[in-house]
Amino acid sequence: MALIRNSKLRPRVLVVGGGYLGLVTAQNLLKNLGRGEATVTVVDPNPYMTYQPFLPEVAAGSIEPRHAVVPLRRNLKGAEVVTGYVRSINHAKKYAVVEPEGDEAFELDYDHIVLAAGSVARALPIPGLDEEAIGVKRIEEAVALRDHILNQLDAAALMENDEERRKALTFVFVGGGFAGIEALAEIEDMVRSAVAQHETLTEADVRFVLVEAAPRVMPEVGEAQARWVVDHLRERGVDVYLETFLQDCTNKRCKLSNGEEFDADTIVWNAGVKANPLLVDSDLPLDDRGRLTVRADLRVEDENGVVEGAWGAGDNAAVPDLSGGGVGGYCVPNAQHAVRQAPVLAANILAALRGETEFRQYFHKSLGAVAGMGLYKGVAQMGDFETRGFLAWLMHRGYHGYAIPTVDRKLRVFTNWFLNFVAGRDLTALKDLDVPRKNFVEAAHSKPAPRKEPAKK
């Protein structure tokens, strides 16, 4: 579909962000809009939506990377999909500056704007963090982390220097929330399996470290479950440090607030998220944490009341939690809320387009929390019901297998899991993905070996 930059022919709904919230909101709009009633435009730097709860399993090789993403154009028939960045928003004049991938920026008019840009990693000003750490917020990071760790095992298997080997096989995870615990546990499980394929390595050579600033992990579950998670990780050989900060990791030399120092070639940062900073370059109201201020009906509001034509939800918005269970009175930034906010958001935008004045309020009481911690291991809490181990692992996979959008992706994910169950986890690492031209360049610059003249008889 050709992009109509001027929306005067019909109203335009501009959806900023093609994550779960943006994708499902756009799908609901397209499904219910009348012919010619409005144009739906979705702008995102990626041509796909990433189902972030699956990133730990991608990093651990349980799910193929492309099966954890949902292509936008294929699943948004009838919408304008722009692969690019929204650089700024002028809501007073109702236009956004859009910069497509590899092209010049342009102004795009809209009548309604949906802020669904999600969140980014909340990095702290720790010396060395920018240079040495990696997050697990993007599919590319999960793939790179998996290949890096498996390649570290291959390299360490040939090392004779004990200090170099210890550094290569020390894996530090900072952040003990759901994302951090799942990433550590899934990858630790993968590494233990991979070590068995190396004759010169043993599990005792590998060290996993969890650094968490709070006095407990996983605030989404009860105290008993959180204590069990820590005990379980320690039984698996993980060094868990609570009420501890990473103070420095310059040149991969980790210095903790408890006084311990050690070298680690792998530092994974999962210590929280913050609202997407693109909101800063706009005239829309933000709270002190950089989140869009919205009402329970997901309309943006400022000190003067509703900001007409502006909507927000998901991780980049401070959505009131009417159930009373949210931290600080707001919905926590997780997939459970995004799944349920999208239909409410689409229904209210449709109502506004049609001149209606009654809007639905978002209300959802948390169903609980489920987390995978490697093959056949998990933790789950549904209200007062708590379970651990195999049943929790099944609940985790069942819920997220159901929640990932589109039948196509559900089939691929469940097929991945079945094949892994039958054939075992794939522990093959791919090399040089970040420099795919390396071998070609080396071949192009190599000189042929000197030609030897045949010996004279």
Q: How does pLDDT run across 253-285, given as a tens digit for each residue?
A: 999 999 999 999 999 999 988 888 888 889 999
The rounded distance, in Å, linking the Cα atoms of 197 and 202 is 10
Residue with tokens 């927000």: 312
Confidence at 430, pLDDT banded by 50, 70, 90: confident
Beta strands in 72-190 (DSSP E): 80-90, 95-100, 106-109, 112-115, 119-121, 133-135, 170-174
The rounded distance, in Å, linking the Cα atoms of 400 and 410 is 9
Residue type present at position 183: A
Name the DSSP class of 159. -
The Cβ-side half-sphere exposure at 217, using a 13 Å CA radius, reads: 29
The rounded distance, in Å, linking the Cα atoms of 183 and 225 is 18
Residue type present at position 455: A
pLDDT value for 1: 42
Cα 292 to Cα 277, 283, 310: the distances in Å are: 11, 11, 10
What three-state secondary structure class fits 168?
A: helix
Residue with tokens 């982390």: 145
Backbone φ and ψ for 247, nearest 5 degrees, come out as: -100, -25
10-27 confidence digits (pLDDT tens) = 899 999 999 999 999 999
Nearest to 95 by CA among 207, 200, 212, 8: 8
pLDDT value for 2: 46
The rounded distance, in Å, linking the Cα atoms of 208 and 234 is 10
What three-state secondary structure class fits 372?
A: strand
Task: Write out the H or E segment, with its range, that includes residue 56.
Answer: helix 55-59
Nearest to 349 by CA among 80, 106, 21, 13: 13
Q: Cβ distance 416 to 63 under 8 Å?
A: yes
Strand pairing category for 119-121 and 273-275: antiparallel
Q: What is the rounded average pLDDT of the residues 420-434? A: 85
143-184 confidence digits (pLDDT tens) = 999 999 999 999 999 999 999 999 999 999 999 998 999 999
Say whether pLDDT at 132 is over 90.
Answer: yes
The rounded distance, in Å, linking the Cα atoms of 29 and 348 is 10
Say whether pLDDT at 6 is over 70.
Answer: no
Tell me how far apart the 2 most distant CA atoms of the chain are, in Å.
102
375-397 confidence digits (pLDDT tens) = 999 999 988 899 999 999 999 99
280-317 confidence digits (pLDDT tens) = 889 999 999 999 999 999 999 999 999 999 999 999 99
Percent residues over pLDDT 90 in the chain: 77
pLDDT value for 109: 96
- Helices and strands, number each (H, E), in the chain: 12, 25
Cα 343 to Cα 26, 338, 346, 362, 399: the distances in Å are: 9, 9, 5, 10, 19
pLDDT value for 52: 92
pTM, two decimal places: 0.90
Residue 268 CB: number of other CB atoms within 10 A? 24
What three-state secondary structure class fits 285?
A: coil
Identify the structural domains of the chain with CATH numbers, from first to last.
Answer: 12-120+274-354 (3.50.50.60), 134-271+368-423 (3.50.50.100)
Nearest to 24 by CA among 412, 298, 403: 403
